[in-house]
Chain A
């Protein structure tokens, strides 16, 4: 009989929710009570909304416990392990009975996330036990030629998962066509889209799959050096990658004459990014690796011909690399079974925002946005009305509720004006102001513009100024048209993807929510009650107790009223800071 396993999810989100303490508690209990079970660590299984997660696998089956704190940890160890009776109240998933969380997992197809949440990412044996490094061994064992490897990737139809959607096989082919004794493989792990965390989860949960993908790419294009360009904001991912790289070197998956393939030598090192969104762009990323300011340059020459140190370079995203070993092992046909005509395979999405079940999901291409949000994501928090979903981050756009039947594939999403992007999906409800969202993204891209192209540098700034004045109730007739004019100029006159896509959040919100812009400009109203300058704060006479807290906290002393008398806000002096609203204990301040 196999030993009972207790597995604690220790990804970044789990740790932030308190999983570290839960792990320590269980370990302490195991030691002090001398309990007989194997305590293991894993990373994110995707159910971030239920963190911290503890899974118990015993001879009867598997039980996933959600929202476990220290007290509950004691309870489940005591009841489940010591007394053999699982605690039904906290079980969110089990292979023995149905749970309400079943719809979160049942539509998913896990290729990229095949190991996330199942293995200990710091243990190479766990990865190998789930077919890890089997793909590169297959290539070595069956002497599959590099041309056949490239052909397999081409016919699988996989497209770049970083957002661009360029066919990966074609990229490899171009890099292979460039002849050089030195070639580089770069993994783009500079996940810059604020609101996306797919790459972080893969790197933290299954670093070896990314490394194996890079090794296969190096074999295919005769790569001699590998670099993982990872955000410095992801310390846990960097730590686990370093551990994984050391283990891979020890086992001979990296180094000289890998797996006995004559002349195949390859190693990978990590380059910490220093924080610049533009470095997601290939040529800017290369400049950054070279130690320069991360500014893009003109293409061609493309990196496949002249990239890092002017040598042929192949750059793919984390998720793309994680797909590669699976494709080699299972065949291009098996992969191409999933998806639509032009977008094959699966896509990982990070669900966040006003959604009930935020977390990570992997679905076959072709599923509708509605299904992702309502079937997997469980719908909108507090059962509010679904308004829009933002896809593609600062380069993407907002897709309105009435277009929720749009299917996710590169071309269908592009047709809406948004982009597939790297997979961030931020869900918005009726309390989200679309002008505010557009302003938020413009503020971001305006700061992140590298400054090389005038239209991007100055144009985004001017657009932001217009949006700011609209949000302040100082919008003028013609502002919407001015925004549109500027947007097209910026798109046409910027060198790289950042500038070419920066206006998308504004253009899509104007396209689908023009009435909201008009309400701000003409009626000086913010329908979602977000833009502070357009709100008025008033005292609700029935609820006011005259406690004077609002008057004392008002920074401009515009609230009048004697103690135990109803207070009154002098609107002319009010700066709309919202202090009275937050300080009132009796909910006697209303917003309108």
Chain B
């Protein structure tokens, strides 16, 4: 069982950036429809990258869904995040095929290189490291996804090199 505790209010720096009015069309679309809870949460997460506490409150207020039900669902499924994430998510596949092809080495190397643990975000807010069950590219094991791009047949060194290149690109683009 996945157990995740909800942080009451995340830091105020995060809250300032949230424009809750963006939720209005989503709420209008799903309000009153049966089975709307998961699509509402998925839509919210697509907007903000995670589920902000204040968004829960707004959706509950405007749709009549119980906060407790929303939390129940949000903490049940692997997809939902309750904390903000980095700009780019690195998903390291830990499916069976990747596991027997040493996916742990990929995780270890990236954790060491980025100085974060699984599920954490780098200090500059660029990368979040995430272990996932299976990306379905088993023939290319071990595999990771950096943003939208999938990389296969990795070694620890290769994974670190790819992520370093992405960081360099990002730094270049932001200048």
Q: Give the residue of A48, A51, A276, A309 whose beta carbon is less than 8 angstroms from that of B34.
A: A309
Known: A17-B152, A359-B139, A447-B1. A354 touches B73 (CB 8 A): no
In contact, B79 and A426 (Cβ under 8 angstroms): no
In contact, A276 and B77 (Cβ under 8 angstroms): yes
Hey, what's the 0/1 contact readout for B18-37 against A, CB within 8 Å counting as 1? 00000000000000001111
Bound form: Cα–Cα A294–B76 in Å: 8
Q: Give the residue of B73, B99, B136 whose beta carbon is less than 8 angstroms from that of A233.
A: B136
* Chain B residues with CB under 8 A of A149: none
In contact, A16 and B151 (Cβ under 8 angstroms): yes
Q: Is B156 interfacial (CB-CB < 8 Å)?
A: yes
Q: Is A192 interfacial (CB-CB < 8 Å)?
A: yes
Q: Residues on B close to A: CB < 8 A?
A: 1-2, 34-39, 41-42, 72-73, 76-80, 94-97, 99-101, 105, 109, 132-141, 143, 150-152, 156
**Looking at A197, A291, A393, A451, which has the most chain B CB atoms within 10 Å of its CB?**
A291
In contact, A353 and B100 (Cβ under 8 angstroms): yes
Q: Give the residue of A197, A276, A428, A457 whose beta carbon is less than 8 angstroms from that of B78.
A: A276
* Chain A residues with CB under 8 A of B42: 232, 272, 274
* Chain A residues with CB under 8 A of B101: 353-354
In contact, B79 and A232 (Cβ under 8 angstroms): yes
In contact, B77 and A294 (Cβ under 8 angstroms): yes
* Chain A residues with CB under 8 A of B96: 193-195, 352-353, 390, 393, 424, 426, 440-441
Known: A17-B140, A194-B95, A233-B132. A457 touches B151 (CB 8 A): no
Q: Is A444 interfacial (CB-CB < 8 Å)?
A: yes
Bound form: Cα–Cα A504–B151 in Å: 32
How far is the CB of A246 from the nearest CB of chain B, in Å?
Answer: 19
Bound form: Cα–Cα A291–B35 in Å: 4
A sample of 23 inter-chain contacts (CB < 8 A) reads: A13-B139, A13-B140, A16-B150, A16-B151, A194-B133, A233-B132, A274-B79, A290-B34, A290-B35, A291-B35, A291-B38, A293-B73, A351-B139, A352-B139, A353-B96, A353-B97, A353-B138, A358-B141, A426-B138, A437-B100, A446-B1, A449-B1, A450-B76
Q: Give the residue of A275, A291, A358 whose beta carbon is less than 8 angstroms from that of B37.
A: A291
Bound form: Cα–Cα A292–B76 in Å: 9
Hey, what's the 0/1 contact readout for A273-303 against B, CB within 8 Å counting as 1? 0111100000000001111111000000000
**Looking at B35, B41, B42, B101, which has the most chain A CB atoms within 10 Å of its CB?**
B35
**Looking at A191, A274, A393, which has the most chain B CB atoms within 10 Å of its CB?**
A274
In contact, A12 and B136 (Cβ under 8 angstroms): yes
In contact, B36 and A291 (Cβ under 8 angstroms): yes
Q: Give the residue of B38, B72, B99 whose beta carbon is less than 8 angstroms from that of A440.
A: B99
In contact, A354 and B100 (Cβ under 8 angstroms): yes
Q: Residues on A close to B: CB < 8 A?
A: 12-13, 15-17, 48-49, 51, 191-197, 200, 232-234, 272, 274-277, 288-294, 309, 350-354, 358-359, 390, 393, 424, 426, 428, 432, 437, 440-441, 444, 446-447, 449-451, 457, 582
How far is the CB of B82 from the nearest CB of chain A, in Å?
Answer: 14
In contact, A274 and B78 (Cβ under 8 angstroms): yes
* Chain B residues with CB under 8 A of A13: 136-137, 139-140, 152
How far is the CB of A218 from the nearest CB of chain B, in Å?
Answer: 20
In contact, B100 and A447 (Cβ under 8 angstroms): no
Bound form: Cα–Cα A428–B99 in Å: 11
How far is the CB of B31 from the nearest CB of chain A, in Å?
Answer: 13
In contact, A275 and B78 (Cβ under 8 angstroms): yes
In contact, A582 and B73 (Cβ under 8 angstroms): no
Q: Of all chain B residues, which has the CB nearest A192?
A: B133
How far is the CB of B70 from the nearest CB of chain A, in Å?
Answer: 10
* Chain A residues with CB under 8 A of B152: 13, 16-17
Q: Of all chain B residues, which has the CB nearest A440?
A: B99
Bound form: Cα–Cα A251–B142 in Å: 42
Q: Give the residue of A12, A276, A447, A451 whose beta carbon is less than 8 angstroms from that of B137.
A: A12
How far is the CB of B4 from the nearest CB of chain A, in Å?
Answer: 11
* Chain A residues with CB under 8 A of B150: 12, 15-16
Bound form: Cα–Cα A108–B95 in Å: 26
Q: Of all chain B residues, which has the CB nearest A456?
A: B1
How far is the CB of A373 from the nearest CB of chain B, in Å?
Answer: 14
Known: A426-B97, A428-B100. A352 touches B72 (CB 8 A): no
| Shortest 4 CB-CB contacts between residues of A and residues of B | A195-B96, A48-B139, A194-B95, A275-B78
How far is the CB of A311 from the nearest CB of chain B, in Å?
Answer: 12
How far is the CB of A279 from the nearest CB of chain B, in Å?
Answer: 9
Q: Of all chain B residues, which has the CB nearest A390?
A: B96
Bound form: Cα–Cα A196–B138 in Å: 7
Bound form: Cα–Cα A353–B101 in Å: 7
Known: A353-B96, A424-B96, A437-B100. A450 touches B139 (CB 8 A): no
* Chain A residues with CB under 8 A of B109: 582
Bound form: Cα–Cα A293–B76 in Å: 6
Bound form: Cα–Cα A432–B72 in Å: 38
